[in-house]
Structure 1
Amino acid sequence: MPAPDDRPEFTALETRASFLLSQLGLQSAQRFTAALAPLGITPNRFGVLAQLARQEGRTQQELATALGLHRNSMVGMIDDLESRGLVERRRHPGDRRAYAIHLTPAARDVLATGELIADELEETMLGVLGPEERATLVATLTRLVAAAGYRAGVHPGLSEAH
């Protein structure tokens, strides 16, 4: 057993960026999940709707590629969203074998409410920061996300819960 003076120094967790980001990330994810629950939707489904809102009419395959999901996972998600009345499949105008995915009015309501929820949660989390600090934080996090190889605007946990 090493003598007390020979023990290595350990860095306090509260001084490690990765630990602090983990704390905030877990808290944020839990709060967002709980806040979306009354809407009958999970964060991963919300992410699919948000991605679809950026460019409606994509095929399931195009949407799966944009989100980095396996096509079978995407089919299951679209089936679920369709059964909830949030998306509809329409014949693709350029490929008669494919379907274009479109948001329904109910999905637009869910997205609008989800945006308000996200705004409120972000204000709660970042309310202690001024506008310049927020901009700097977002810019720094954006660089870190890109350096880690994540797709912009796509949560890495999207494919975990089908």
Structure 2
Amino acid sequence: MRKSAPRPLTERPGFLLSQLGYHSAELFTAGLAPLGLQPRHFGLLTHLAAADGQSQQQLADLMAIHRNAMVGLLDDLEQRGLVERRRHPRDRRAHAVHLTPPARRLLAQATVIADAHDERILASLDPAERRELVDLLRRVAEQAGLAPGVHPGLRRH
């Protein structure tokens, strides 16, 4: 019995997701570079903008990363004047993390870059197709047990 040829890579969802993910990450990283940001910084600033004043531990839990990784990310941003750690108003053992005004301005610029990036990588799709793609990707990510809005690469930092 003759074995059939393997399916072309262009018909393998895993390969296509990997190829597009790598391409997208490279472009997004390059887009943020002039601002001195990396995608992990953008992710943390975005989460902080939605949950300003949370403790370091709450942020680590929200982003599903180890607290030591969170401390390192916050140290980077604090040294640049983008976040402030203050005593938590309800837990004296904890620090509340706040965005600074320069961070809000930088995040606004980074968001413009992120929006342009999304537009560029999805340019061949109409608005309905874009919504459908995002819904499908969200479903696949959920089925895989990925934390919503958290890049798995953050866990390595």
TM-score normalised by the chain length of structure 2: 0.95
Please provide the CA RMSD for this pair: 1.2
Report the counterpart of residue 14 of structure 2 in structure 1: 18
Report the counterpart of residue 81 of structure 2 in structure 1: 85
Gaps of 5+ in 2: none
Superimposed CA distance per residue, residues 22-61 of structure 1 (whole angstroms, 9 cap, x where no aligned partner)? 1111111001111111111111111111111111101111
- The 5-angstrom pairing of residues 8-157 of structure 1 reads 8-157=4-153
Contact 1:56 1:101 in 2 (8 A): yes
Distance 2:38 2:92 in 1: 32
Distance 2:155 2:110 in 1: 20
Total equivalences in the alignment: 157
Shift of 1:6: 2.9
Structure ID, larger Rg? 1
Shift of 1:7: 4.0
Aligned partner letter, 1:46: F
Aligned partner letter, 1:157: G
Aligned partner letter, 2:151: H
Distance 1:159 1:84 in 2: 22
Superimposed CA distance per residue, residues 47-76 of structure 1 (whole angstroms, 9 cap, x where no aligned partner)? 111111111101111111111111111111
Shift of 1:8: 3.8
Secondary structure of the residue aligned to 1:129 is coil
Shift of 1:101: 0.2
State the identity %.
54
